[in-house]
Amino acid sequence: MDVLKKVPVKEQDAKVRAANFQEVCLGYNKEEAMEEATRCINCKNAQCIKGCPVSINIPGFIEKVKEGKIEEAYQIISESSALPAVCGRVCPQESQCEGKCIRGIKGEALSIGKLERFVADYARENGIRPQGAEKKNGKKVAVIGSGPSGLTCAGDLAKLGYEVTIFEALHEPGGVLVYGIPEFRLPKSAVVAKEIENVKALGVKIETNVVVGKSVTIDELLEEEGFDAVYIGSGAGLPKFMGIPGEQANGVFSANEYLTRSNLMKAFDENSNTPIMRGKKVAVVGGGNVAMDAARTALRLGAEVHVVYRRSEEELPARVEEVHHAKEEGIIFNLLTNPTEILEDEKGWVKGIRCIKMELGEPDASGRRRPVEIPGSEFDMEVDTVIMSLGTSPNPLISSTTKGLEVNKRKCIVADEEFGKTPKEGVYAGGDAVTGAATVILAMGAGRAGARGIHEYLQNK
Amino acid sequence: MYKILEAKELAANIFYMVVEAKRVAKACKPGQFVIVRAAEDSERIPLTICDYDAEKGTVTIVFQIVGAGTLMMSGLKAGDAFHDFVGPLGCPSEFVEEDLETLKNKKLLFVAGGVGTAPVYPQVKWLHEHGIEADVIVGAKTKDLLILEEEMKAVAGNLYVTTDDGSYGRSGMVTQTITDLVEEGKHYDVCVAIGPMIMMKFVCKLTKELEIPTVVSLNPIMVDGTGMCGACRVTIDGEVKFACVDGPEFDGHKVNFDEAMQRQQIYKTAEGRAYLAAKEGATHHGGCGNCGN
Average pLDDT for B252-263: 95
Q: Find the angle CA(B56)-CA(B61)-CA(B63) to the nearest 5 degrees.
A: 165
pLDDT, position A368: 78
- Tell me which residue in B23, B41, B231 faces A257 most closely, judged by beta carbons: B231
CB contact under 8 A, B87 and A215: yes
Contact status of B224 with chain A (Cβ, < 8 Å)? yes
Residue B293: pLDDT band with limits 50, 70, 90: very low
Residues of chain B with pLDDT > 90: what percent? 86
Distance, in Å, from the CA atom of B220 to the CA atom of B289, rounded to the nearest integer, reads 11
> Contact, B13 vs B72, CB < 8 A?
no
Using one digit for the tens of pLDDT, what is the confidence trace for B38-90?
Answer: 999 999 999 989 999 999 999 999 999 988 889 999 999 999 999 999 999 99
CB contact under 8 A, A239 and B228: yes
pLDDT, position B69: 87
Residue B269: pLDDT band with limits 50, 70, 90: low
Contact status of B150 with chain A (Cβ, < 8 Å)? no
Listed residue (A150, A321, A325, A175) closest to A233, CA to CA:
A150
CB contact under 8 A, A260 and B87: no
Contact status of B290 with chain A (Cβ, < 8 Å)? no
> Contact, B103 vs B129, CB < 8 A?
no
Q: What was the ipTM of the complex prediction?
A: 0.90
Residue B268: pLDDT band with limits 50, 70, 90: confident
- Tell me which residue in B86, B223, B229 faces A211 most closely, judged by beta carbons: B86
**What is the residue-averaged pLDDT of chain B?**
91
pLDDT, position A146: 97
Residues 6+ apart with CB under 8 A from B156: B110, B124, B128, B133, B134, B135, B136
pLDDT, position B286: 47
Residue B289: pLDDT band with limits 50, 70, 90: very low
Specify the pairing of strand B135-140 against strand B108-113.
Answer: parallel
Using one digit for the tens of pLDDT, what is the confidence trace for A389-425?
Answer: 999 999 988 888 998 999 999 899 999 988 999 999 9
CB contact under 8 A, A210 and B86: yes
C-alpha distance from B263 to closest chain A C-alpha (Å): 6
CB contact under 8 A, A277 and B267: yes
The pTM for the full model equals 0.92
User: Length of chain A in residues, anyone?
Assistant: 461
Listed residue (B21, B15, B30, B18) closest to B62, CA to CA:
B15
Contact status of A269 with chain B (Cβ, < 8 Å)? no
pLDDT, position A457: 96
CA B54 distance to own-chain centroid: 21
Contact status of A171 with chain B (Cβ, < 8 Å)? yes
In terms of phi and psi (left: phi > 0; alpha: psi -120 to 50; beta: otherwise), the region of B9 is beta
CB atoms within 10 A of CB B49: 27
Q: Is B118 exposed, middle or buried (0-12, 13-18, 19+ CB in 10 A)?
A: buried
Contact status of B1 with chain A (Cβ, < 8 Å)? no
**Which residues does chain A have within 8 Å of residue B240's beta carbon, measured at their own beta carbons?**
241, 243, 247-248
Cis peptide bond upstream of A363, omega within 30: no
Q: Please report, to the nearest 10 degrees, the dihedral formed by the alpha carbons of residues A442, A289, B223, B229 taken in order.
A: 80
C-alpha distance from A295 to closest chain B C-alpha (Å): 17
Sheet holding A385-388, edge to edge: A252-254, A385-388, A281-285, A304-308, A332-334
CB contact under 8 A, B267 and A275: yes
pLDDT, position B66: 84
Q: Which of A165, A179, A215 to mutate to test the interface with B (most CBs of B within 10 A)?
A: A215
CB contact under 8 A, A265 and B87: no
Q: Please report, to the nearest 10 degrees, the dihedral formed by the alpha carbons of residues A7, A8, A10, A13 taken in order.
A: -170
Residue B290: pLDDT above 70?
A: no
3-state secondary structure of A43: coil
For CA atoms B286, B290, B291, B293, give the dihedral sign: positive
Contact status of A42 with chain B (Cβ, < 8 Å)? no
3-state secondary structure of B193: strand
pLDDT, position B278: 58
Residue B265: pLDDT band with limits 50, 70, 90: confident
> Contact, B225 vs B218, CB < 8 A?
no
Residue B10: pLDDT above 60?
A: yes
| Furthest C-alpha separation in chain B | 54
The list of chain A residues with pLDDT below 50 reads none
C-alpha distance from A21 to closest chain B C-alpha (Å): 18
C-alpha distance from B188 to closest chain A C-alpha (Å): 32
Q: Which of A168, A178, A214, A272 to mutate to test the interface with B (most CBs of B within 10 A)?
A: A214
pLDDT, position B292: 42
Using one digit for the tens of pLDDT, what is the confidence trace for B164-178?
Answer: 999 999 999 999 999
For residue B285, give the amino acid letter.
Answer: H
Q: Find the angle CA(B162)-CA(B168)-CA(B171) to the nearest 5 degrees.
A: 45
Residues 6+ apart with CB under 8 A from B178: B109, B111, B137, B191, B203, B206, B207, B210
Residue B291: pLDDT band with limits 50, 70, 90: very low
